[in-house]
């Protein structure tokens, strides 16, 4: 394994380039108007959208991942087919009703109801009716005991959010930032009970009383029926299921076929993946989430000048987190989920992952992410964008991981799901804005030095790259010692160009930069 390392000078240049690419004066904040196309937005344009956000969580996904004692190929085939079946049905419903499909990340669907314009109450009624249609239709789209029907919990909130570009190349769906997206997600993820859960803002908009515990108060059957009557959707459960069955006959999913990728993951082409060309092997899943970003957006969304800083801060910080993972530590971003980066990493061979080195590399990577995050905030502030209230939560776990794409040709979405993926997200969720945590499996596989860093709580505050490198190397962690030795060797290289006519070629001194994927 070659050394993986973070370098402050290299990070500084990347961040400065991103700042230069997104100058504040060029950012445009626009109000969403009738039938505006939000796909393929330029990186310097954001739309202020007044809409209703619907999150639908499949709450029995975790149970499906636990149906076998060993998390083997059969388990992953079942789960991926299960998700593929329900994604096809859900996307059909949203398309039929003119609702924006924003994201389908593993068990979690995010959509936005923007019509009818100027009528918030009617939008909320439509969102409720669509949520119930999702629940009822997905209850009938199971196939057998191995691929059961989905049990769905829906969260809904209403209000203004900023829509920005969420990717590059062929992966440029819109991303919504702000309170309604965040609160709808919290309601859908607020428990294991099925049903439809509204925030008090959404409840009040349709004349319902506020409640003390939004996560424990589902809409009643009568309340749902009222919204269904007012919404008058064109789709029916029977119609959706029949169309879904015809679609499966015409475009069968087929059997998921797995192979392992030879590390590093940085050269895995996610856009080439499919049902018959999926990846599966032991690896690290990581979630790095910007803490406090929802409040940051909410405090600035109504002022165009302040909203420009939101767009700039997001693109600069998130781009640098991706670069640390992809360029410095040779991992691969699966996707951006709002202000969060989900990625994969492994060291070793296609046949045998080096678990200890993988965990140590991820510890260093997490340190690099935090150091780059701090550097990005400092450079943003120096350039007029104060985002110092933000933090970053990082969680990761080790285990069998998958990588594939689901859906129909022309509209495939990236997917990496496993017990470890869910655990990594849980680890990130238990962190504060200055903390890093790892899962139990990763802890057990880690070197003694890495275990000492995190302690029995498996969580560490203020774990920057210099801290991680020094503490690991001091306890003879082989991965850290290799990175430290490479850094020391780098100090022997010329710091400046030789005088003419013997100038060196202008080229990076670090690893060759590949195009990031999106």
125 close to 206: Cβ distance less than 8 angstroms:
yes
Whole-number pLDDT of residue 496: 36
Domain ranges in the chain are 8-25+256-488, 33-250
Predicted confidence (pLDDT) per residue in 99-144, tens digit: 998 888 889 999 999 999 999 999 999 999 999 999 999 999 887 7
Whole-number pLDDT of residue 56: 97
Find the Cα–Cα–Cα–Cα dihedral 471, 477, 482, 483, rounded to 10°. -30
What fold does the segment set 33-250 form as a domain? Alpha-Beta Plaits (3.30.70)
- Beta partners for residue 109, in sequence order: 56, 104
Q: What angle do CA 81, 325, 449 make, to 5 degrees?
A: 105
What residues have CB less than 8 Å from 50, skipping those under 6 apart? 32, 114, 120, 159, 160
DSSP string, 282-303: EEEEEEEEEETHHHHHHTTTTS
Residue 177's nearest CA partner among 97, 20, 258, 292 is 292
Phi and psi torsions of 488, nearest 5°: -65, -40
- Beta partners for residue 46, in sequence order: 29
Residues in the chain: 518
Whole-number pLDDT of residue 515: 35
What residues have CB less than 8 Å from 225, skipping those under 6 apart? none
Yes or no: domain 8-25+256-488 corresponds to CATH 3.30.70.1230: yes
Whole-number pLDDT of residue 514: 35
What is the distance in angstroms between the CA of the first residue and the CA of the last residue of the chain?
Answer: 26
Spatial separation of the C-alpha atoms in residues 219 and 127, rounded to whole Å: 13
Low-confidence ranges of the chain (pLDDT < 70): 1-2, 167-173, 490-518
């Amino acid at each position: 394994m070659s050394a993986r390392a973070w370098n402050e000078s290299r990070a500084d240049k990347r961040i400065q380039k991103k700042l230069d690419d997104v100058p504040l004066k060029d950012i445009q904040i626009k109000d969403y108007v009738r039938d505006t196309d939000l796909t393929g937005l330029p990186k310097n344009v954001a739309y202020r959208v007044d809409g209703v956000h619907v999150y639908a969580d499949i709450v029995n996904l975790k149970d499906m991942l636990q149906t076998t004692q060993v998390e083997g190929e059969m388990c992953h085939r079942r789960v991926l087919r299960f998700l593929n079946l329900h994604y096809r049905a859900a996307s059909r419903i949203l398309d039929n009703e003119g609702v924006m499909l924003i994201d389908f990340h593993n068990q979690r669907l995010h959509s936005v109801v923007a019509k009818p314009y100027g009528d918030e109450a009617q939008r909320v009624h439509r969102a409720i009716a669509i949520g119930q249609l999702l629940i009822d239709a997905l209850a009938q789209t199971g196939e057998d005991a191995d691929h059961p029907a989905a049990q769905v919990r829906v969260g809904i909130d209403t209000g203004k959010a900023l829509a920005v570009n969420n990717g590059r190349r062929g992966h440029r769906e819109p991303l919504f930032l702000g309170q309604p997206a965040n609160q709808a997600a919290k309601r859908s993820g607020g428990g294991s009970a099925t049903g439809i859960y509204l925030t008090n803002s959404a409840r009040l908009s349709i004349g319902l009383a506020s409640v003390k515990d939004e996560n424990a108060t589902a809409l009643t059957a009568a309340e749902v029926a009222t919204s269904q009557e007012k919404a008058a959707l064109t789709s029916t459960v029977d119609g959706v299921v029949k169309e879904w069955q015809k679609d499966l006959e015409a475009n069968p999913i087929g059997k998921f076929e797995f192979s392992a990728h030879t590390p590093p993951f940085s050269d895995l082409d996610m856009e080439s993946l499919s049902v018959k060309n999926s990846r599966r092997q032991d690896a690290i899943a990581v979630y790095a989430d910007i803490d406090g970003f929802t409040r940051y957006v909410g405090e600035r969304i109504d002022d165009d000048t302040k909203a420009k800083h939101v767009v700039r801060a997001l693109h600069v910080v998130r781009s640098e987190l991706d670069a640390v993972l992809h360029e410095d530590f040779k991992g691969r971003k699966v996707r951006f989920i709002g202000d969060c980066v989900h990625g994969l990493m492994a060291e070793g061979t296609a046949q045998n992952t080096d678990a200890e080195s993988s965990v140590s590399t991820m510890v260093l990577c997490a340190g690099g992410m935090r150091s780059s995050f701090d550097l990005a905030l400092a450079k943003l502030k120096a350039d007029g964008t104060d985002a110092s209230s933000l933090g970053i939560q990082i969680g990761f776990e080790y285990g069998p991981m998958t990588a594939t794409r689901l859906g129909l040709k022309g509209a495939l979405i990236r997917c990496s799901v496993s017990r470890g993926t869910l655990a990594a997200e849980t680890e990130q969720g238990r962190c504060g804005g200055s903390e890093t945590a790892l899962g139990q499996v990763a802890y057990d596989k880690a070197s003694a030095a890495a275990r000492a860093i995190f302690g029995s709580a498996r969580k560490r505050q203020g774990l920057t790259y210099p801290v991680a490198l020094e503490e690991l190397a001091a306890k003879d962690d082989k991965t850290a010692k290799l990175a430290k030795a490479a850094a020391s060797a780098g100090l022997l290289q010329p710091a400046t160009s030789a005088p003419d006519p013997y100038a060196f070629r202008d080229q990076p001194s670090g690893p060759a930069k590949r195009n990031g994927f999106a």
